[in-house]
Amino acid sequence: MSEYRGYEGDSLEFLKTNQISVGDSVTIIADINYSGMIMPRYEHSDDKHIVLKLKSGYNVGLEIEKIEKIEKNQTTEKIIEKDEKIEKIEGLPKILLLSTGGTIASKIDYRTGAVTPVLTADELNSSVPELAKIANIDAEVLFSEYSENIMPEHWLKIAEKINEYSKSEYAGIIVAHGTDTMHYTSSFLSFALAGFPIPIVLVGSQRSSDRASSDAAVNLIGATKFITKSNTKGVYIVMHQDENDDTVACHIGTRVRKNHTSKRGAFQTIGDLPAFIITGNEIQKNTKNFFKINEYQPRIYLNTKIALVKYHPGYDPRLLDQIIEAGYNGIIFEGTGLGHVGKTMYETVKKAYKKGIFLGMTSQCIDGRVRMTVYESGRDLLDLGIIPLENMIPETALVKAMWITGNSQDRDEIKKIMLENIASELTN
């Protein structure tokens, strides 16, 4: 790793002239005085600025022409952190942490100045020391991917790994995951591992742990407390309830969406309160609508030939033709209101049904239930073979259809299972 990573041209020459490299702690005199650490830059950045991480955890870009003076405070070696060795406490429950690349607990790498994920039990313990008093944590890395790069093949790998521990002594399993697509992964695990004997909890962080407002440690502590105290099973997402550090929400994995781009309380249970609220050492149970399957019979298969179609005024039916011609096995419509698409779609919908493609209807509305018998247009779509999926979240319906068609190609069976409440994906 270069000690000048991301710097080139004028900015690189500036650092070399002043004998400064990435990871050095410096004081800079410019329009005001700054103290912090030199950070690496994005490889396509300009060469007129350097990046400084302030003690507050925020980064600032400083134009080199406006810097009057820069002084090194200490060498990189003097501020390298040392990991503390875990001392496991006999009698505490055991928890397995599987890392997929989401930032649950991370720290500064003072060689590069980058924020790196915590990947070992020892690093985890030193970053979030409160965990060692709650449970004995074992950590394992599955892969390291940004959330947007998590694909259905990654869901399979996660499920297969978790399945290996179905008869283990662990009290529960935590999956560290990026937030943007976490609810897709939680949905697949909910179906593929229905009936798993211990809780599976996905945890992420809206803000990296080098920021003062990070939610990483609080979310992880909340997930650990939930596993050790809730006496339940199923697949959940645990994240901040709101901007308050005192409260963490535990959402059923098939009934949750990320509804804000950056707030710490971005995740919300759709149509209900979160299943549990964790405040301090207290766990409040809010719902009786939990998982229906008691016997564990993993079905870790999927088929990606399912499309999620968001209807809008002006939607070109020829796009639906392309999905049909590409050999897709199912289409989940995200329709308007109670579950409608425009009449310009009818002929193509009829063609899809004749091809044996499963057709399901969800709503673009955040809350509420699909009711296709209220208006004539809805009844027309029912006659064309579209199945109303009650109040299933569109993303959950997509994943469920991927899972079902990976296990069966019979359209009647697919319809039956799509309407069967397996993992609380449907609520009253």
User: Catalytic pick from 53, 225, 233, 258?
Assistant: 258
Is 57 a domain residue? Answer: yes
Left if phi > 0, otherwise alpha if psi is -120 to 50, otherwise beta: which for 252?
Answer: beta
User: Of 75, 103, 119, which residue constitutes the final position of a domain?
Assistant: 75
Is 179 or 305 the better-scoring residue by pLDDT?
A: 305
Is 34 a domain residue? Answer: yes
- Count other C-beta atoms under 10 Å from residue 130's C-beta: 13
Is 104 a domain residue? Answer: yes
What is the model's pTM? 0.83
Query: Rounded distance, CA 8 to CA 42, Å?
Result: 11
Residues 26 and 125 in one domain: no
Say whether 181 is catalytic: no
Count of domains observed in the chain: 3
Residues 188 and 223 in one domain: yes
Residues 237 and 343 in one domain: no
DSSP class per residue in 124-191: HHHHSGGGGGT-EEEEEE-----GGG--HHHHHHHHHHHHTTTTSS-SEEEEE--STTHHHHHHHHHH
Residues 14 and 104 in one domain: no
CATH, residue 207? 3.40.50.1170
User: Catalytic pick from 179, 185, 396, 427?
Assistant: 179
Average pLDDT over every residue of 133-150: 89
Residues 232 and 165 in one domain: yes
Average pLDDT over every residue of 258-276: 91
Query: Rounded distance, CA 79 to CA 69, Å?
Result: 22
Per-residue confidence (pLDDT) for residue 80, from 0 to 100: 44
CB 369 within 8 A of CB 391: yes
Residues 229 and 118 in one domain: yes
Give per-residue pLDDT as tens, 289-310: 566 667 899 999 999 999 999 9
Residues 133 and 212 in one domain: yes
Query: Rounded distance, CA 366 to CA 363, Å?
Result: 8
Is 424 a domain residue? Answer: no
Is 426 a domain residue? Answer: no
Residues 132 and 257 in one domain: yes
CB 278 within 8 A of CB 254: no
Residues 252 and 314 in one domain: no
Per-residue confidence (pLDDT) for residue 106, from 0 to 100: 55
Is 241 a domain residue? Answer: yes
Range of the domain at 125: 94-285
Say whether 210 is catalytic: no
Residues 31 and 68 in one domain: yes
Residues 126 and 248 in one domain: yes
Is 295 a domain residue? Answer: no
User: Of 285, 317, 351, which residue constitutes the final position of a domain?
Assistant: 285
Say whether 258 is catalytic: yes
User: Of 17, 45, 75, which residue constitutes the final position of a domain?
Assistant: 75
Whether 165 shows a pLDDT value over 90: the answer reads yes
User: Catalytic pick from 180, 272, 321, 380?
Assistant: 180
Average pLDDT over every residue of 14-28: 93
Residues 237 and 117 in one domain: yes
User: Catalytic pick from 76, 100, 103, 269?
Assistant: 103
Is 219 or 292 the better-scoring residue by pLDDT?
A: 219
Give per-residue pLDDT as tens, 76-120: 444 444 455 667 899 999 999 998 876 554 555 544 445 566 556
Say whether 48 is catalytic: no
Is 106 a domain residue? Answer: yes
CATH, residue 348? 3.40.50.40
CATH, residue 32? 2.30.30.520
The residues, ordered by sequence, that sit 6+ positions from 414 with a Cβ below 8 Å of its Cβ are 330, 358, 401, 404, 405, 408
Whether 149 shows a pLDDT value over 70: the answer reads yes
